[in-house]
Amino acid sequence: MHNKEGQYNLYDSLSRNNHRLAHLEKAIDELTQDLPGKDDASVAKILLQRAEIYAKLGRRDDATADIRSAVQRGGTNRDIVKTAESLIQKMYVDIKDTQAKQKSSQASPEDSPKLRRYKDIIRSVADTDNETSNIKKLIVSKDFVDILQSCGDPAETSDVKTAAIIVITSTLNSRSMSEKQENGSPLLAKVTNIAGLCFKQCFDSGKAADKVNAFSTLTVLFQANLSVGAEILNQQGLLEDIMDTIDFEKIEVQVAFANTLAQACSDSHCRKNISKHCSSWLATKASSKSEKDSKLHISASVALTKLSNANDKGTDSTGLDSSATNNEVDHLASAMKEHSISREQLSETFRDAIKDSSTDSSQLLVAVEGLAYNSMEASVKEALVNDVDFLSRLFKLAQAKEGLSAMLFGIGTILANVTGYLPVLSEQQKQMKKLRDLANAKGAGKGGKKPKEDEEDPRDQDEAVNARIAIVVKHGVVPTLIELSRNKSNNVQAVTCQTFLNIISPNNHRGAIVQQGGAKCLLQLVGAHQTEKLDYINVASQALAKLAITMDPRIAFPGAAAHNLVKPLLQLCQDEKPLRNFEGLMALTNLASMDENIRARIYMEKGLPIIEGLQFSENEMIRRAATELLCNMMFAAPVFESYSDPKQPGAQAKIKLLLALSDVEDFETRRAASGALAILANSPGACTMMIKENGYQRVSQLLEKDENVEVQHRGVEIVRCLLEHGSKDAATSMAQQGVHLKLVDIVKNCKVQPVRGAAMEVLKQFSQNGVTDFNG
């Protein structure tokens, strides 16, 4: 009996523990999937919340990664830094307690004096009252040198390295960096000088480990503050000195250097120096395919890719940086030509690395980054989508739970690029392009760069893009995008939304995308960010609008989904881009045709003023779409009342506008406006307002012989209502406009029975009101 009771207690304890674990795992999923990522500070807070849960689950590596990312995003926010520091402290206190309970006598790295010291420094840097004085003391202390070395030391523990990066990021982005010193220069200049001396000391030691440390730390500095890293790398003679000996260094030193160059390419001055001094070396390493230096091969390829893709002021036909001088372009072009390197070959390197399951995570990230740059090339796009093994591997990487935001952003960028359409240029943009091409042609005649050809690559034309979209949809891009959307990074969500918009653009895949959960995913993305002004949310809304325009809303957006779609579509109608306005209106028109509840929701979300405002757009298609939506909205009681009751503010002006729109050249606009008037005419008040606006004459125009039968039908209905509410006076006035004779012509010649029948009934009303001369 005693044993049985103990067994029950054991089961109960296990059950409670499993329940707790399940609860924590659910909390992680909710943070990852549902919590909106706002600005960097908000995203950092979310990361810290998730890090705390990871720590409770014993997943220290995940917790550390989230803390590091949080500080990189929100390092200027003292509260975030303090929270990160307290999490680190708590995490290792918990570890210490656990180890004490296990009576382990072995000291752990987490309890090292270095880590404790770094945590104290994090706390001092975050001290609001003494920030400047504490940072000034820090940067001249030995601790600062130790922290710099810890950032790049490959032998350092991840926990110490994370704490070091927190200190560097917080310090380099603090407000005190702009404080003036006695010599008038900002404090940041002093920090840069100290970091530069540390780099030189490490590099000059002659030891391979120190050089790896130097380059790795410089890479961290580029990430923390681009100007600091650039100032160090651009020191006079530094790159020349490095290049004199780099070929004699160990592979790990060369890899670290190549990684630094790849990071440095984000700075235009660094690009110029790298292009001048390092092009040949990078091309040599990028063209080497030895298994011994595969990491260097990939890292050099990324740096070369960034150099050739840089486009601060646009790129020329070779894809080179047009902001560079001719000599600098020549250095890079010559190096690539000498080693027969093209973008296609660089991309093949990255593609092979991604397909190789033995590629480690750091090189995988580098390969994805390189391919994200090169996938803007038409030839590369074609090669990628036609490699089924590559697509399969890429999709698996995106759906891996441990995927880092940087890698997911790279994957999303690749997908957005290969499915992207060429932008549609306005007439003004086309003219500017012609002028630019002309200027380039003149430059080419003087020895300048060759201008880009007027004709675009056929692999970038719509037909080719449609074919690529068909391939990626077939091989599972939708589930991949759904997984990417769960990442809280704004950048990842932005490329996810853009890819969704791309693949939804062709009509023939929309049903499959909805079936696979694409519409639901987009609604969740939009719903999580409705209060934020993020352009990519309007991209997601535009994708939803395309679905709502061509698909039955009851199928694409069942239940509450259709109601949840109203607000983002109304926001789309207020976007600066006319196409988004138009598609938002068209989608709402389709939704408004569903039922009374949707129309009520549009009205409750203050949609009426938005719709009415767009009726004054300079764009004819937008005016038409707004009028068509308004016609559908007339079945909503409050909208009907606002137009039909003369006592309502602006009602008379609204009727006047509808009468004017019923007489425009565009048939669809006339049809919608006359349709709205036909509905409103059932109200005596609306009829009275129409008559005040010379309504008899305007309605008569709807019945002209050469008018479309649909507009004629609406005109007949308006006449019927005017007769019902105006009696003999209305009949006489309309007879003076020849309305009854036009009705006779419709009865004789119209081939649509319902319209002919309606006209016959209205003629009977004329007869009953004393108009009997139907022969003209």
Supply angle C-alpha 667, 506, 429, rounded to 5.
70
Of 296, 287, 219, 281, nearest to 250 by C-alpha is 296
Q: Is residue 382 very low, low, confident or very high in pLDDT (cuts 50, 70, 90)? A: very high
Query: Is pLDDT at 5 greater than 70 in this prediction?
Result: no
Non-local CB neighbours of 670 within 8 Å, separated by 6+ positions: 661, 662, 663, 664, 702, 708, 711
In this prediction, residue 308 carries a pLDDT of 84
Q: What is the mean pLDDT of residues 758-764?
A: 93
> What band does 96 get if pLDDT is binned at 50, 70 and 90?
very low
Alpha carbons 759 and 753: distance in angstroms, whole number: 10
Candidate from 6-10, 391-395, 726-730 with smallest mean pLDDT:
6-10
**By three-state DSSP, how is residue 116 classified?**
helix
Confidence of residue 426 (pLDDT cuts 50, 70, 90): low
Task: Give the model confidence (pLDDT) of 113-135 as tens digits.
Answer: 888 888 888 888 877 778 888 88
Name which residue leads in pLDDT, 555 or 98. Answer: 555
Listed in sequence order, the residues at least 6 apart from 317 whose beta carbon sits closer than 8 Å to its beta carbon are 449, 450, 451, 452, 453
- Averaged over 654-679, what is the pLDDT? 95
Residue bearing the bigger pLDDT, 603 or 18: 603
Q: Give one DSSP letter per residue of 663-716, joined into a string.
A: TSS-HHHHHHHHHHHHHHTTSHHHHHHHHHTTHHHHHHHTT-TTS-HHHHHHHH
Q: Is the pLDDT of residue 631 over 60?
A: yes
For 167, the token pair is 């200190």
Does residue 412 surpass a pLDDT of 90? Answer: yes
pLDDT, residue 691, reads 92
Using CA atoms, how far residue 258 sits from 77, 349, 742, in Å, is 32, 15, 83
User: 333-363, pLDDT tens digit by residue?
Assistant: 888 888 888 888 899 999 999 998 888 888 8
pLDDT value at 419 more than 50:
yes
Please check the confidence at residue 17 and state whether its pLDDT lies above 60: no
The answer to whether 165 touches 72, Cβ cutoff 8 Å, is yes
The amino acid that residue 449 corresponds to is K
**pLDDT, mean of residues 527-540:** 84
Q: Report if pTM > 0.85.
A: no
pLDDT at 129: 77
User: What confidence tens digit (pLDDT) does each residue in 62-83 have?
Assistant: 677 677 667 766 655 667 776 7
- Residue 429: CB atoms within 10 Å: 11
> Is pLDDT above 80 for 292?
no
Average pLDDT over residues 262-278: 90
pLDDT of residue 223: 86
Output b/e per residue, 369-403; b: 16+ Cβ within 10 A.
Answer: bbbbbbbbbbebbbbbbebeebbebbbebbbeeeb
For 515, the token pair is 């079936």
At CB < 8 A and 24+ separation, what contacts does 668-673 make?
668/624, 668/628, 669/620, 669/623, 669/624, 669/627, 670/702, 670/708, 670/711, 671/708, 671/710, 671/711, 671/714, 672/624, 672/627, 672/628, 672/630, 672/631, 673/627, 673/631
Cα distance between residue 141 and residue 123, in whole Å: 16
122-136, 293-307, 484-498, 595-609: segment of lowest average pLDDT: 122-136
Which stretch of 87-96, 156-165, 461-470 has the lowest confidence by average pLDDT? 87-96
What average pLDDT score do residues 647-669 get? 94
pLDDT of residue 471: 96
Q: What pLDDT shows up at residue 295?
A: 86
Lowest-pLDDT range of 10-19, 643-652, 679-688: 10-19
Mean pLDDT, residues 533-556 taken together: 92
Give the percent of the chain with pLDDT over 90: 49
Give me the pLDDT at residue 126, please.
Answer: 79
Predicted local confidence at residue 72, as pLDDT: 62
pLDDT higher than threshold 80 for residue 569 = yes
- Quick check: 326 pLDDT over 70? no
Least confident of 315-324, 517-526, 583-592: 315-324
Model confidence band, residue 330 (pLDDT cutoffs 50, 70, 90): confident
Say if residue 560 is exposed, middle or buried (CB neighbours under 10 Å; 0-12, 13-18, 19+). exposed
How distant, in Å, are the alpha carbons of 542, 581, 676 from that of 573?
A: 10, 4, 21
Is pLDDT at 680 greater than 90 in this prediction?
Answer: yes
Q: What is residue 726's predicted lDDT score, i.e. its pLDDT?
A: 77
427-484: pLDDT as tens digits = 676 677 677 767 666 555 544 444 444 457 888 889 999 999 999 999 999 999 999 9
Report the mean per-residue pLDDT for the chain. 83
